[in-house]
Structure 1
Amino acid sequence: NFSILRTPIAKPDYASATVEVEGSSERYLTNLNVFKDFKVVSFREKGLNHFLVIKSDERKEITFPEDAYHVGGGNNANFDTKIYRYNYSSPTTPSTTFDYNVETGESKQVHQVEVPGFDQHKYVVERKFIPSHDGVLVPMTIIRAKTTKVGDPNKCLLYGYGSYSISIHPWFNRNNISLLDRGFVYAIGHIRGSSTMGRSWYENGKFLKKQNTFKDFYACVKYLIKEGYTAKGKIGIMGGSAGGMLVGATINLDTENLIGAACADVPFVDVLNTMLDDGLPLTQLEYEEWGNPNDKEYFEYIKSYCPYSNIQEREYPAVLAIAGLNDPRVTYWEPMKWTYKLRDYATDSRVKLLWTNMDAGHAGASGRFEAFKEYADIYTFFIKELE
């Protein structure tokens, strides 16, 4: 999880270095800002971001009131200052900028993004740690309107991404408010393959441990049903790119038919065939994440979870696969092949939809309003199919 060393400018080497901030298995150090009279260390603990302010021999943490949130350094252009600026948000708090005074220890709000018609007091956020298949506790953030009661058969959307050490933080997302106001529960699974819980969290969700990512996510599905946030067939799952692979692998795991609908956005679902084609522009770079399938051990392991390779003749949820014709990262034929194979093998009558955006690349529709329309179509799919 890294450490921070101090070394003389005249002799910058390990032998003459002293430890400024110890590394630990609990704290994942992510950044360091240096000012004239103080330093700010950014770190993640129990999946949430924090700041440690170091001034001479004094060390003080900036604390935050909510159980789930995201915070990051802001625009700090002045070296000679007593102010550290940071940006804070949570599932119920729009992006807010604060100035922290290192002498008084007080944070002052200087700006908040306006969200017309939004009342943060109408919603509740919970942070849960749930046991996965191997007993490891996986963090999950759950958001709902206060009028949406646990124990009712609520519709639910679970979002996830667990690759490349990229973490999905519990920040504010205005797109989700329309679902919450319609009685949905919205959840984020902070699964292995991300770096939510530190470097080892990532390393235990890649290469020959990739199955942990999918099993963590499926454990989140089962927890939400078991604890009454939703019901069998009322839960939808969503992810994009490698998160689309997560969706494809998870519906293959779901032999209990718990999941009612799944949206895989530009999904990396034909993993084995793509990784075997080193003529594609990104394949050889991807060996560092999935392994080289020209090695038999990696070939067999990738084959064991590849969504396209593991489709079976059985019932599947309703599926919406989204492709971009000009996508250089996940070629458009991956979601196309996957969708058609699902149609051939699925024994149910639920829809298996393919939506190819003929003008888009990997990031979806261009333009703010087109992106809103795309989200509206996706959410309409979940509203309809989770009846």
Structure 2
Amino acid sequence: MKLYFKHFTLILFAFVLLTGCDWQRESTIKSNVINLSPPDAEKQDSVLTIHGDTRIDPYFWMRLTDEQKIAETPDAQTQKVLDYLNSENEYTDLAMKDTEGLQEKLYEEIVGRIKETDESLPYFKNGYWYYTRYEEGKEYPIYSRKKGSLDAEEEILIDVNELAEGHDYYSATGLQVSPDNKILAFGEDTLSRRVYHIRFKNLETREFLDDKLDNTTGSGAWANDNRTYFYTTKNNVSLLSEKIYRHTLGNNPSTDKLVYSEEDPSFYLGVYKSKSDQYIIIGEQSTLANDYHILNADNPNGEFRQFTPREEVHEYSIDHFEDKFYIVTNWQAPNFRLMETPENATQKSNWEEIIPHREDVLISGIEVFQDYLVVSERGNALTNIKVIDQNTQEEHNLEFDEQAYVAYTSTNPEFDTETLRFGYSSLTTPNSIYDYNMNTREMDLMKQQEVVGGHNPDDYTTERFFAEARDGVMVPVSVVYKNSVAKSPYTPLLLYSYGSYGSSTDPWFNSSLLSLLDRGFIYAIAHIRGGQEMGRQWYEDGKMFNKINTFTDFIDVAKYLEDNGYSSAPHMYARGGSAGGLLMGAVVNIAPKQFNGAIAAVPFVDVVSTMLDETIPLTTNEFDEWGNPKNEDSYHYMLSYSPYDNVVEQEYPNLLVTTGLFDSQVQYWEPAKWVAKLRDKKTGDNVLLLKTNMKAGHGGASGRFERYRQTALEYAFLLDLEGMRR
């Protein structure tokens, strides 16, 4: 009997090794949904026809206007939509009921690593030290300053905790102090639609002024007279930023002077002040072009003049210094080059080259000082900071040791200094702020993100390598895992990416991720085409008619990780948000068996219908990113990958989908419709959950800690699917 038991144990152990399953592997979520009836969304077929092609959308009715969402008494359609979203929330809560304890543990663990009483590193500007601090038990920041010395008495600009009282959501942004240091302007959003009121506060009397500017982007620029403030307003329907106004303190905002109106709906619009404080700059930006209009800040009632004539394709940025402007431009330079021009002769014909174009290095920005020029670059999927002595033209790069990291210039408001403030982070190193002497090349660590409870970077391993995509392109990959975790087909792995808008996914430290790493997960970032990790062409090769590369790169990276023993499909998971949610939707359609589960946060999944509707925020600004489906070739290409339009009868991975009712970036009905269609089409018994935050928008909850409730939900979802319940 003992011998038989011994052999049985060995056989069972071998079975566990071979199959990767044990008694703890059973998912409580999957067990629960067997006994639950999922929500059944009503079908009301809407016929959508263009270019001779007809689509039937049974869930088009889910769309509500902002007015319907905030109405005190919901109409019949609104009530039907709210009932459906609430039923999905209830279903998700019941499915994940057995993970509530784990969710709470994860939440406490994640927020427990955050130093509650903390403050940012102060920076000096115009006679004051400015900083942001947090107090224990409070969700929001306190913006403060001290005059002349850090030993001076603190002056609170605004305590966001007080302003947020009585609001389910609150965000303060765009804080700007007048040149005489007496008036604060800032934007506030209480609905999470990213539509702000701009308010003004007298910092001497501590009273708010009666002036209140509505329907704005939340930020603006002070003229040097301390009375004139320039700001941007939004279209009431599309939420596009489209007009610049000039406000004089004390005047009725209804009398504010319109100084610029953007007629092209493919451009974003904003106004800001140059670092030199000499110019008010109106900036217009589309996917393919920039345009600027400038005004001397000493002459607020003057007329803005165009920097150089607008072109259909020309991206550039400008920085003013003394009597000239620096320009980072892609004019005859796909990876951008640096040029300069006299401030009174800014047309392109006057530009002179300083740093030429390089095939292997992307110039992403500059920081100007009296004697130094600092250039931020990207090359070989890594960031770099180059320092140039403007007197000797000698240059050098800041050096870093880790395989995968991100380095960036921080807050540098002063010109006449030898000190560059920059930030550094990696998948194992918490965000760190350094002061670097550009003359002596000495580097001082000024502040490092504290991980409460302790964190030793040496306990973790970071790797960076290249995975070959199906067309032979080498895709960078960053990986982190705990030293004690062995790579194997049974090791759980979470693969993340974004891959759109030229936004690079850098390997930042994320203390909440420790909750997965310490439980045995490997975390990987696929630096897929659509970002700019490998230069501008990397972006071009992942947009418009090349968009499919974004999705296949992600799948090929997952296969590479599997082929090289990091994990395997039954234990592999994917996550992406917004445009990264589109990535998730496309990936699970194309390769549903590559992942055991996926998390799609605020996913942009109804691509064709959204891009056909120019009343939806962001649509017209993004025709050069995705294509305009009113053009037949774009329509058919977008239709070929649009996740909602390509749901078919097949077994999908376990899916957790999140959204926000007031999301202005990706409307809630996109993920809601997608989930409803998936429920109708999918086969098998894998779980499908939708969680809608009924009080927030694209960024989720506004509180410093409350936002991690969703992180805890997502992590519990992943851990439960792996049978990890502690």
What's the TM-score, normalizing by structure 1?
A: 0.96
Kindly report the root-mean-square deviation, in angstroms, between the aligned alpha carbons of the 2 structures.
1.5
Q: 1:100 aligns with which of 415, 436, 448?
A: 436
Q: Is the 8 A contact 1:153 1:228 kept in 2?
A: no
Tell me: CA distance 1:310–1:152, structure 2 relative to 1, closer, same or farther (3 Å). closer
Amino acid at match of 2:357: G
Q: Is the 8 A contact 1:68 1:126 kept in 2?
A: yes
Partner in structure 2 of residue 66 of structure 1: 402
What is the distance in 1 between the residues matched to 2:618 and 2:385? 36
| Superposition map of 1:50-61 within 5 A | 50-55=384-389, 56-61=392-397
| Superposition map of 1:236-385 within 5 A | 236-255=573-592, 257-385=593-721
**Could you tell me how far 1:47 is from its partner in structure 2?**
1.4
Q: Is the 8 A contact 1:233 1:386 kept in 2?
A: no
**Could you tell me how far 1:16 is from its partner in structure 2?**
5.2
What is the distance in 2 between the residues matched to 1:261 and 1:151? 18
CA deviations on 1:21-61 (whole Å, 9 max, x unpaired) are 11112110011112111111111111111111111221111
Partner in structure 1 of residue 501 of structure 2: 164
Aligned pair 1:191/2:528, yes or no? yes
What is the distance in 2 between the residues matched to 1:295 and 1:19? 38
Q: Is the 8 A contact 1:237 1:247 kept in 2?
A: yes
Q: Is the 8 A contact 2:555 2:594 kept in 1?
A: no
Tell me: CA distance 1:34–1:208, structure 2 relative to 1, closer, same or farther (3 Å). same
Aligned pair 1:88/2:424, yes or no? yes
**Could you tell me how far 1:386 is from its partner in structure 2?**
3.7
CA deviations on 1:216-274 (whole Å, 9 max, x unpaired) are 1111111111111111211110111111010000011115x120001100111111121
**Could you tell me how far 1:2 is from its partner in structure 2?**
0.5
| Superposition map of 1:165-180 within 5 A | 165-180=502-517
Aligned pair 1:138/2:475, yes or no? yes
Partner in structure 1 of residue 372 of structure 2: 38
Tell me: CA distance 1:342–1:23, structure 2 relative to 1, closer, same or farther (3 Å). same
What is the distance in 1 between the residues matched to 2:343 and 2:659? 51
Amino acid at match of 1:33: E
Runs of 4+ aligned residues of structure 1 deviating over 4 Å after TM superposition are: 8-17
**Could you tell me how far 1:385 is from its partner in structure 2?**
1.9
What is the distance in 1 between the residues matched to 2:635 and 2:606? 13
CA deviations on 1:353-374 (whole Å, 9 max, x unpaired) are 1111111101112212221111
Partner in structure 2 of residue 111 of structure 1: 447
Q: 1:220 aligns with which of 551, 557, 561?
A: 557
**Could you tell me how far 1:15 is from its partner in structure 2?**
5.0
Amino acid at match of 1:4: L
Deviates more, 1:181-190 or 1:126-135: 126-135
What is the distance in 2 between the residues matched to 1:104 and 1:364? 44
**Could you tell me how far 1:17 is from its partner in structure 2?**
4.3
**Could you tell me how far 1:280 is from its partner in structure 2?**
2.2
Residue segments in structure 2 that go unaligned for 5+ positions in a row: 1-334
**Could you tell me how far 1:10 is from its partner in structure 2?**
5.9
**Could you tell me how far 1:88 is from its partner in structure 2?**
0.6
Partner in structure 1 of residue 339 of structure 2: 5
**Could you tell me how far 1:183 is from its partner in structure 2?**
0.2
Amino acid at match of 2:358: S
Aligned pair 1:76/2:422, yes or no? no
Amino acid at match of 2:376: S
Amino acid at match of 2:353: V
Q: Give the 3-state SS of the residue equivalent to 1:130 in structure 2.
A: strand
Amino acid at match of 1:26: D
Q: Give the 3-state SS of the residue equivalent to 2:712 in structure 1.
A: helix
Task: Report which structure shows greater RCO (CA 8 Å, sep ≥6).
Answer: 2
**Could you tell me how far 1:285 is from its partner in structure 2?**
2.1
What is the distance in 2 between the residues matched to 1:377 and 1:335? 17
Deviates more, 1:110-119 or 1:120-129: 110-119
Tell me: CA distance 1:314–1:10, structure 2 relative to 1, closer, same or farther (3 Å). closer
Which of the pair has more CA radius of gyration?
2
Amino acid at match of 1:339: V
Q: Is the 8 A contact 1:236 1:261 kept in 2?
A: yes
Tell me: CA distance 1:326–1:54, structure 2 relative to 1, closer, same or farther (3 Å). same
Residue segments in structure 1 that go unaligned for 5+ positions in a row: none
Aligned-pair identity (%): 44
Tell me: CA distance 1:11–1:368, structure 2 relative to 1, closer, same or farther (3 Å). closer
Tell me: CA distance 1:235–1:152, structure 2 relative to 1, closer, same or farther (3 Å). closer
Q: Give the 3-state SS of the residue equivalent to 1:368 in structure 2.
A: coil
What's the TM-score, normalizing by structure 2?
A: 0.52
Tell me: CA distance 1:14–1:241, structure 2 relative to 1, closer, same or farther (3 Å). closer
**Could you tell me how far 1:379 is from its partner in structure 2?**
0.6
**Could you tell me how far 1:84 is from its partner in structure 2?**
1.1
Partner in structure 2 of residue 154 of structure 1: 491
Aligned pair 1:210/2:544, yes or no? no
Q: How many residues align?
A: 386
What is the distance in 1 between the residues matched to 2:505 and 2:423? 16
Aligned pair 1:19/2:353, yes or no? yes
Q: Is the 8 A contact 1:235 1:386 kept in 2?
A: no
Amino acid at match of 2:511: R
**Could you tell me how far 1:331 is from its partner in structure 2?**
1.4
Amino acid at match of 1:191: I
